[in-house]
Amino acid sequence: MIGLLSRHVGEHLSLARIVRETDLSRATAHAVLTQLTADHWTVRDADGNYGLGLGLLTVARRAEAAFPLRRLALAPIREFSARQGIPVFLAEREDGAIAITEVAGTPTLPWIRPGRRLPLAPPVVREFLAWAPEPDRETWLGHADPAHRDRLIAVLEAVRTRGYSVERLADDSAPMLEALAALRNSPVTDPLRHRLGAMITDLITIDYLPDELGPTNAVVTVAAPVFLGPTVTAAVVACPDTLLSAAELTTLGTATREVADSVTAALRHDSGTPPPALPRD
């Protein structure tokens, strides 16, 4: 109900509309709204319609204190997005997954949106694992396709050395990869599943190793870690989704890392956490 009213800020909705759009019974909706109004989370106007109340703003401000990272990161990622002329988002570790919590700019890729969750699983979210303790890295690698493990080990070292990961999947491969993955996860024989897995492996190239950069490089995203103590708790992710020269990629990667480092410093200052004793290389 609060979610419905929040999508219509500045409006007052009738009880009938609230009942219709929430699928609650009229009696239940009226009882809930009566309590919310008594708590000043909603207000009821002279016509009997409901809108958000100032009491909810007080609660929201208190809740914001529980999520300092978003408060501290929003201005830097917006400024970074404007400066680079590309979308940028903040991804946070949350309950065994990675959640997109803030987006600056307008991404060209439909999966980049607030609330989107990604599993903390290979081959993605490498910037969250590159600085993790060895047992955590081994567990993560244990869930990888065996054909990818050796490369992932090398890539994690490369990410740790330069301070950022690169997603290099070319757009023209994406539809084929999605189709193959759907087939592999459907009821098929083991030999066919292995063939499909091999085809997926042939299409995927995970990140760039130092000697693989060419005159032009297909770069979808560049992600740099944000630390809370020794743990990577989030990442600043720039989304060029274009071809970059090696020099342009290095420049963007360095800039992304610098923004992430500034958010780490602000978070450390805000929480009183000492800096992590983790070298980049």
Mean pLDDT of 175-184: 55
Domain extents for the chain? 2-63, 67-169+205-271
The token pair at 156 is: 């994690």
Q: What is the pLDDT of residue 272?
A: 66
| 53/44 Cα distance (integer angstroms) | 9
Domains 2-63 and 67-169+205-271 share a fold: no
Peptide bond into 123 cis (omega under 30): yes
Crossing angle for the helix pair 15-22 and 26-38, nearest 10 degrees? Answer: 110
Query: Is a pLDDT exceeding 90 seen at residue 194?
Result: no
Q: Is 255 within 8 Å of 53 (Cβ atoms)? A: no
Q: Kindly report the CATH number that applies to the domain delimited by 67-169+205-271.
A: 3.30.450.40
Report the C-alpha gap between 78 and 150 in whole angstroms: 37
pLDDT of residue 279: 47
Note the pTM of the prediction, 2 decimals: 0.68
Q: In this model, does residue 153 exceed pLDDT 90?
A: yes
Nearest to 114 by CA among 99, 94, 98: 99
pLDDT at position 218? 86
The DSSP call for residue 111 is T
pLDDT tens for 128-151 read 999 999 999 999 999 888 888 999
202-242 pLDDT per residue, tens: 555 789 998 999 898 889 899 999 999 999 999 999 999 89
Which helix (H) or strand (E) segment holds residue 86: the answer is none
Find out whether 259 and 169 touch, Cβ atoms under 8 Å.
no
**Rounded Cα distance, 90 and 112, in Å:** 10
List CB contacts of 92: < 8 A, sequence separation 6 or more: 69, 70, 98, 99, 101, 233, 234
Structure token digits, residue 74? 């929003």
Report the percent of the chain where pLDDT is more than 70: 80
Give the C-alpha distances (Å, rounded to integers) separating 171 from 11, 26, 245. Answer: 41, 49, 18
Q: What is the DSSP letter of 7?
A: T
Pick the residue with more confidence: 188 or 44? 44
The CATH T-level fold of domain 2-63 is Arc Repressor Mutant, subunit A (1.10.10)
pLDDT, tens only, 87-136:
999 999 988 889 999 999 998 878 888 888 888 888 889 999 999 999 99
